[in-house]
Each structure stands twice: as C-alpha cells, then as structure tokens.
Amino acid sequence: MRIAILGTRGIPANYGGFETFAEQLSVRLAARGHEITVYCRSHHSEKGLKEYLGAKLRVLPTIRHKYLDTVVHMFLSAIDAAPKRFDAVLVCNAANAPFLPLITIFGTPAAINVDGLERKRKKWNWLGRLYYAIGERASVSFATELITDARVIQDYYLTRYGAKSTM
C-alpha cells in the first residue's frame, strides 16, 4: 500500500509523541513492504535527508509561529498529498482535521489520530482553544476513521460527538 503520514513535525523523531508515533509506524510499515511517505516540516528536518529507514520524507515549508506552524504545514501537506492518490492517509492531531476534505475529496481514505484534548490545555489562548474545538468536530465529520490512543479519549468522543473510534 501507498500510505502518507501528515500532521507531525516529521521524522526522525526529535520532538514529541506524534513524531515518535510517526517514526515507529512508518519504519515498521516500510519494513513490511509498504510505500510510506512522511510529511516533514523544513525547520525540523535534516537538510538533504530524503528517506529514513525505508520511509520517504516529503519536506515542506511552513511559518515558524506558535499559532501558524501546524496549520500552514498541514494545508501545504494536504494540497501536496491530495493529487498523489495515496491508498490511505493518516493525519495526526485534531488541529489538522479541518484540512481532511482536501484529501478525501479525491476519494482517498483518511484516518485521524486525535490524541488528547488540546482545547483544554492552558497553553492555548481562547482562539487556540476554539480552533481545537473546531478540529474535534472536523475530526468526527471528515475522517474516514477516528483513532484514539486512550480509553478516556475514546469515551469522550463517543459521549460528546457520538463518534466511535479505533483504539
């Protein structure tokens, strides 16, 4: 299968949980013979690195800003990935969910790993929290498959949105 992973800073992992998840998943899927492309942010990527342990790296620019970095990179990644007709796309982070229609409009199935409840974290101002709330709604509205990695998050999405998820 041709699979793309979007919505992380990229691999090799040098930042956080989504990056470690993307690295582990991409390397393991590539070892099983799948063609994996991981979308990476230019300022988090080793210059000139085009492949990592069997996974292709697609490095794209973004705007280095607390509120724009993720959104701009995901927009560019979705625009780049959509016409490539991957067999499946995995998106990380509910903040990236508003861009799912750019991928699914071409008939590509897109799963999203929503992680935690970012909108409740104090690090975000009211606008950031509102955007994450929109991302939650977009996750259940536009994703082909919703992925949660904790029972409490799975229960939250089921109770709040009536959305079943894979864990």
> Tens digit of pLDDT for each residue in 7-60?
999 999 887 788 999 999 999 999 999 999 999 999 888 888 999 999 999 999
Residues 140 and 157 sit within 8 Å (Cβ to Cβ): yes
CATH code (residue 37)? 3.40.50.2000
Question: Could you please report the per-residue DSSP string of 7-25?
Answer: SSS-SS--S-HHHHHHHHH
Q: Is residue 33 part of a domain?
A: yes
Q: Is residue 167 part of a domain?
A: no
pLDDT in tens, 109-166: 999 999 878 777 788 889 989 999 999 999 999 999 999 999 999 999 999 999 999 9
Q: Is residue 19 part of a domain?
A: yes
Q: Is residue 110 part of a domain?
A: yes
Question: Domain range holding 71?
Answer: 2-161
pLDDT in tens, 64-107: 988 789 999 999 999 999 999 999 999 999 999 999 999 999 89
Q: What is the pLDDT of residue 121?
A: 79
Q: Is residue 166 part of a domain?
A: no
Q: What is the pLDDT of residue 24?
A: 97
Q: Is residue 61 part of a domain?
A: yes
Residue 32 to residue 40: CA distance in whole angstroms: 22
Q: What is the pLDDT of residue 44?
A: 83
Number of domains in the chain: 1
Q: Is residue 65 part of a domain?
A: yes
